[in-house]
């Protein structure tokens, strides 16, 4: 089995972490960021992009860019509030009343689980690159107030992404794990988790390696996005009043408003007033329109007053369920980026009477806790016991549609509860078990989790047969229901999973589609990389042709250079026509041609070096040659023979050593020790490097041509010649 990681699958941003050396570590994504935007998009070419790249295209491509998908997980279309549907992309009702995300670019409707799977896959791939091994298992966090439907949908998203979901962990519980891992004492903490799309409150008792959740509450339709929407509505109404245009009806304008609102909200956490400027937000017959306004913190807080009221309710409910008062709370931990708003901090402090703890990173703490749980499951951490609770009551429908609760909310899990029921009619041979989740008294008002029937009940008067119904919730919060006829021993059971809105066949199809998308993306990436390599090789070839012609003359390797030029043109044509076979062939031919040219250049230098060696030996034994030999040998051809353009790996430094004789003169990328137009000492007009101010490493005059001057190449400098013994310094 591969590595197990912890993933915080957030509404706005997601984070992945892993245990390393007994410590949780947050893994940066491929872009170098520790948080990954929970955004999936499809470019104009149909390429799937996830994270920051997808977020960049939201304004220009709103219909094919999907965000805040977490709010749609495990829900029916009828359960959505009107505000939840107000997004730039299209949300449609499916055939069975489920939610479908419409993507015009690829002409496909995606289930929310499929979109979330793309985000999970991206996080797993980034983690695999960091770890150097494949990530196969994961612990995924969910809001504590997620019902069974939403939890199962999250598991399905993990399966579609090719991951084994070892545990579904409540986000506040994960935060408590991260916060209290190194705490020695025992204390009661309240975790206030306000994310981009959901809100949770959990009360936990932490101490001696035991994390016991006392109660949990929340609102899965309340988060930072709702605060953003208040600013969006305020801006839109103000613009409608001034210009008579409703920006919310324009997808691109709406997306720009949402981004501006989020930015303003963040800025108002640090300053008391912010300017909102959106030029060219729309246009009419009179020309372009601009949005310019100013928003103060007090205005923002006033328009969010009802949202603050909604934050208070779960806090009070969690305290009541735990049998505690604010005085019993010893520590308050804020989780989620939206808790950075000053008004939220003030609210928590006013309700609990404690200054919230600021020692944890609200963006990363949940993922860190998930990594801790992953370490526990993998055996890396011991002596840590986690006791979580079920967030909502679970029961079944009885006579008259009444909800009979078998497992009350905030019951510690894993848990198993059972009760005895009977028939409602005489001679009834079939019993339908309807499982529901919620706090309402009538089953129809709660979330339906599933139905199944128990057949073969012997005929008997009503009330006589004994049907034992058992509810079993595992550590992931996943429910299994069993019905047993105690008379006949007949048994029927289901694992409640219908809430994901995907059947097993649909999940398998989604897995195949994900693999198909992965193959398509891989092929597209390979094509892009091939084009990039080909374009780079063309540029390299053109550069080498120029340099060879400049350094050796137009006649040097003329045929080879002409062949390289022709192949480069063929490769350009193949790239223009998207001819894959032509690109492959021309790329290989160009590589071979450049290799042949490099060999010829290296051979030239090898022959030249051999000539210089024999000339030196000859001079030693027979004396100096005629003055013209100095020129014939080409001693002014460049002292620095380190031909660093890929032609040779040899260092042809002929002895000029460490002298600063051509400083400020040599080109950095050529290494020849002379200007490009000076050639190699062949033609008189090229200069030979013998200008009076060059000195050839000797002095500032022309070289002496009398018999006292040796035509051999300069030897390495004698340090004694240039050293002043009196002041220990260079002359």
Residues labelled as active-site residues: 8, 70, 171, 193
Any idea what DSSP says for residue 327? G
Token digits for 615? 């000339």
Rounded CA separation 249/263 (Å) = 21
Are the C-beta atoms of 17 and 5 separated by less than 8 Å?
yes
Are the C-beta atoms of 697 and 638 separated by less than 8 Å?
no
Rounded CA separation 90/74 (Å) = 18
Count CB-CB contacts under 10 A for residue 429: 14
* CA distances to 27, 35, 533, 574 from 30, in Å: 10, 11, 21, 31
Count H helices, E strands: the chain?
Answer: 15, 32
* CA distances to 116, 133, 498, 501, 693 from 449, in Å: 22, 38, 7, 11, 92
DSSP per position, 433-454:
EEEEESS-SBGGGSEEEEEEEE
List of E strands, 147-260? 164-170, 187-194, 199-207, 210-219
Give CA torsion, residues 324, 330, 334, 339, to 10 deg: 70
Count CB-CB contacts under 10 A for residue 159: 21
Rounded CA separation 573/681 (Å) = 39
Any idea what DSSP says for residue 2? -
- Note if the bond before 414 is cis, omega within 30 degrees: yes
Any idea what DSSP says for residue 98? B
Angle at 72 between CA 71 and CA 74, to 5 degrees: 110
Token digits for 585? 């062939």
Token digits for 404? 């009979």
Identify the H or E element spanning 269: none
Helices (H), 132-167: 148-160
SS3 at position 27: coil
| Nearest to 313, CA basis, from 204, 221, 218 | 218
Helix axes 558-577, 580-622, angle to 10 degrees: 160
Rounded CA separation 691/701 (Å) = 8
Give CA torsion, residues 623, 629, 633, 636, to 10 deg: 110
């Amino acid at each position: 089995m591969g590595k197990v990681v912890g993933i915080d699958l957030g509404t706005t941003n997601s984070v992945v972490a892993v245990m390393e050396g007994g410590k949780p570590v947050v893994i940066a994504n491929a872009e170098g960021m520790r948080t990954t935007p929970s955004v999936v998009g499809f470019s104009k070419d149909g390429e799937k992009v996830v994270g920051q790249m997808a977020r960049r295209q939201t304004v220009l491509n709103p219909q094919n860019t999907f965000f805040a998908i977490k709010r749609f997980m495990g829900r029916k279309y009828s359960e959505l509030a009107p505000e939840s549907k107000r997004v730039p992309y299209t949300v449609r009702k499916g055939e069975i009343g489920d939610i479908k995300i419409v993507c015009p670019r690829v002409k496909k409707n995606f289930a929310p689980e499929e979109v979330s799977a793309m985000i999970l896959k991206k996080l797993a791939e980034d983690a695999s690159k960091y770890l150097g091994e494949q990530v196969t298992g994961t612990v995924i966090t969910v809001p504590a107030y997620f019902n069974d439907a939403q939890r199962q949908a999250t598991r399905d998203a993990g399966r579609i992404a090719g991951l084994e979901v070892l545990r579904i962990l409540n986000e506040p519980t994960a935060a408590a794990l991260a916060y209290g891992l190194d705490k020695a004492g025992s204390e009661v903490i309240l975790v206030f988790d306000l994310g981009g799309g959901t809100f949770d409150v959990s009360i936990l008792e932490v101490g001696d390696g035991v994390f016991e959740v006392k109660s949990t509450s929340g609102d899965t339709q309340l988060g930072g996005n709702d605060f953003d929407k208040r600013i969006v509505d305020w801006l839109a109404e103000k613009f409608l009043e001034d210009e008579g245009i409703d920006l919310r009806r324009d997808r691109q304008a709406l997306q720009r408003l949402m981004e501006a609102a989020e930015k303003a909200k963040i800025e108002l956490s640090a300053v008391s007033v912010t300017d909102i400027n959106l030029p060219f937000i729309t246009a009419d017959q009179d020309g372009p329109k601009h949005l310019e306004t100013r928003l103060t913190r007090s205005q923002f807080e006033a328009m969010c007053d009802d949202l603050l009221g909604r934050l208070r309710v779960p806090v009070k409910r969690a305290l009541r369920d735990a049998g505690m008062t604010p005085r019993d709370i010893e520590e308050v931990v804020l989780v989620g980026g939206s808790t950075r708003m000053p008004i939220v901090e003030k609210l928590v402090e006013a309700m609990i009477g404690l200054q919230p703890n600021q020692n944890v990173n609200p963006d990363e703490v949940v993922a860190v806790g998930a990594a801790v749980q992953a370490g526990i499951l993998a055996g890396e951490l011991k002596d840590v016991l986690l006791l979580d609770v079920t967030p909502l009551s679970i029961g079944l429908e009885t006579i008259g549609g009444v909800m009979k609760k078998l497992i009350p909310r905030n019951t510690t899990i894993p848990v198993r509860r059972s009760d005895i029921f009977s028939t409602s009619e005489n001679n009834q041979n079939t019993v339908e078990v309807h499982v529901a989740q919620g706090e309402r008294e009538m089953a129809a008002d709660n979330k339906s989790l599933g139905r199944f029937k128990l057949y073969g009940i012997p005929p008997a008067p009503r009330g006589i047969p004994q049907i034992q119904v058992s509810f079993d919730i595992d550590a992931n919060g996943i429910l299994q229901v069993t019905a047993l006829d105690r008379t006949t021993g007949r048994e029927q059971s289901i694992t409640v999973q219908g809430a994901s809105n995907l059947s097993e066949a649909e999940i398998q199809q989604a897995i195949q589609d994900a693999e198909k998308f992965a193959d398509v993306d891989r092929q597209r990436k390979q094509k892009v990389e091939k084009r990039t390599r080909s374009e780079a090789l063309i540029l390299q070839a053109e550069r080498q042709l120029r340099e060879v012609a400049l350094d050796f003359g137009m006649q040097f390797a003329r045929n080879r250079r002409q062949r390289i030029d022709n192949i480069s043109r063929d490769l350009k044509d193949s790239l223009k026509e998207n001819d894959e076979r032509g690109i492959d062939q021309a790329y290989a031919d160009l590589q071979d041609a450049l290799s042949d040219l490099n060999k010829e250049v290296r051979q030239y230098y090898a022959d030249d070096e051999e000539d210089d060696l024999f000339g030196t030996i000859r001079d030693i034994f027979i004396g100096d040659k005629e003055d013209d030999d100095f020129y014939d040998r080409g001693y002014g051809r460049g002292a620095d023979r380190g031909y660093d353009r890929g032609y040779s790996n040899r260092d042809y430094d002929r002895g000029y050593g460490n002298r600063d004789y051509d400083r400020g003169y040599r080109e950095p990328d050529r290494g020849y020790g002379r200007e490009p137009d000076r050639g190699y000492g062949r033609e008189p007009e090229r200069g030979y490097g013998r200008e009076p101010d060059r000195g050839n490493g000797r002095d500032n005059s022309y070289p002496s041509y009398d018999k006292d001057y040796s035509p051999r190449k300069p030897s390495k400098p004698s340090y004694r010649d240039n050293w002043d013994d009196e002041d220990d310094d260079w002359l």
